[in-house]
Amino acid sequence: MLLDERDIIDRLYQGDEGAFTEIFYYYANKLYSFIKKLTRSEEIAEELVQEVFLSLWINREKIAKVENCSSYIFTIAANKTFNYLKSKAIHERYLETMLFNKSESDNNTMESVDFHESQSILGKLINQLPTQKKIIYKLTRESGMSHDEVALQLGISKNTVKNHLVKTLRLLKDNLKSND
């Protein structure tokens, strides 16, 4: 616990950068560990820790009523993390829908040409992937295997399968965007 937490909260409320610095150094590593466990990403954890402290500073007028600084800061961190994870999940579903929707398109000739060009580009990009990423992509997307089945077949963890797939989908999306 911070020494004289009430005093530090009052000083932060008044815009004291020294109080902010004390709070930052006291909580930064704890928040980083907490967020990293949830996101499984060092980069995201670092970004979200910065967002937590930015939010704390910008909204410091709200801290005057806070009784427990730790709970307040970890609540901000949890909200930021869950918002990030929710946004990421929505983004991944959208990406999968956009990249792999194989439903019949209209009879519009231009759409048909665009679809076949995109499929051709996608096929070339998939062939350029590193071997393990290509295998994981094909097993999950083309063979319809679950992450657990792929992990078992390849002798790797489910998280490794998921991480490779997320990176692959992001790479494919970025490359498809640049080809537009």
- The answer for residues whose C-beta is within 8 angstroms of residue 96's C-beta and 6 or more apart is 169
SS3 state at 139? helix
In the numeric block, which tokens belong to residue 36? 């990293």
Instruction: Give the pLDDT score at 101.
Output: 62
Region 121-128: what's the mean pLDDT?
81
Residue 156 gets which letter from DSSP? S
- Count helices and strands in the chain by DSSP H and E runs: 8, 0
φ, ψ of residue 75 to 5 degrees: the values are -65, -45
- The answer for residues whose C-beta is within 8 angstroms of residue 150's C-beta and 6 or more apart is 136, 139, 140, 161
Pick from 25-34, 44-53, 111-120: least confident: 111-120
Between 3 and 60, name the one with better pLDDT. 60
DSSP structure string for 98-131: HHH--SPPPS-HHHHHHHHHHHHHHHHHHHHS-H
Pick from 7-21, 52-66, 109-123: least confident: 109-123
Check pLDDT > 80 for residue 97.
no
Residues, the chain:
180
Give me the sign of the Cα torsion angle 45, 47, 52, 56. positive
Between 136 and 145, name the one with better pLDDT. 136
Rounded to the nearest angstrom, the gap between the alpha carbon of residue 163 and the centroid of all alpha carbons in its chain is 11
SS3 state at 67? coil
Check pLDDT > 50 for residue 100.
yes
Region 19-38: what's the mean pLDDT?
94
Region 87-100: what's the mean pLDDT?
77
Q: How far, in Å, CA of 61 to CA of 140, rounded? A: 49
Going from the N-terminus, what domains does the chain have, and what CATH number goes with each?
5-88 (1.10.1740.10), 102-178 (1.10.10.10)
